[in-house]
């Protein structure tokens, strides 16, 4: 590189560095925020649907099986819904706590616990036996709470 070109590069570099934060700020929020919101909402509805069945005189096993399938399909997506940069620093309204990225192994374990619990509920639902289904649904609920307690901003 000729000395003149070097000097030019040196001049351009700070300008490019300065422009970068502005570009990042102007960028649209990651689509992951909506995906994970919708996915959690779907899980919330499926959990409510499941527990609503338990209140009925005759809970519908097929309805519970459908909710269990929804939960299992949603559960496997949770881990992938938290890429770096989608925490509070993204300046988007989010209840995701920085602990997700500070303690990734613990977060993964909490997500895996949910996946396993939803598989357990599917298996229990397949038996059609409410005595097995109810504790399995309880275990799913406990896995939601387990993660929220550490990784979701508490409601103020």
Indicate which single residue of 64, 68, 72, 78 sits in contact with ligand HEC (rule: CB under 6 A): 78
115 forms part of the interface with ligand HEC (CB under 6 A): no
Q: How many CB atoms lie within 10 A of CB 41?
A: 11
Quick note: the x/- pattern for ligand HEC over 4-43, rule CB under 6 A, is --------------------------------xx--xx-x
Please provide the DSSP assignment of 36-86 as one string.
Answer: HHHHHHHHHHHHHHHHHHHHSSS--HHHHHHHHHHHHHHHHHHGGG--TT-
Task: Please measure the distance between the N-terminal and C-terminal CA atoms of the chain and give it in whole angstroms.
Answer: 59
96 forms part of the interface with ligand HEC (CB under 6 A): yes
By the criterion CB under 6 A, which residues form the site for ligand HEC? 36-37, 40-41, 43-44, 47, 71, 78, 94-96, 107, 110-111, 114, 140, 143-144, 147-148, 151-152
């Amino acid at each position: 590189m000729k000395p003149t070109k070097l000097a030019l590069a040196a001049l351009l570099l700070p300008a490019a560095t300065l422009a970068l934060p502005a570009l990042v700020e102007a960028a649209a929020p990651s689509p992951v925020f909506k995906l994970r919101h919708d996915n959690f909402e779907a899980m919330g509805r499926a959990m409510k649907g499941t527990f609503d069945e338990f209140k009925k005189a005759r809970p519908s096993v097929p309805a519970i099986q459908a909710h269990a399938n929804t939960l299992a399909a949603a559960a496997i997506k949770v881990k992938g819904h938290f890429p770096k940069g989608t925490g509070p620093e993204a300046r988007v309204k989010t209840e995701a706590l920085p602990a997700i990225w500070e303690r990734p192994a613990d977060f993964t374990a909490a997500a895996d616990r949910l996946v396993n619990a939803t598989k357990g509920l599917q298996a229990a639902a397949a038996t059609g036996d409410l005595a097995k289904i109810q504790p399995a649904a309880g275990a799913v609920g406990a896995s939601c709470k387990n993660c929220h307690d550490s990784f979701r901003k508490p409601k103020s």
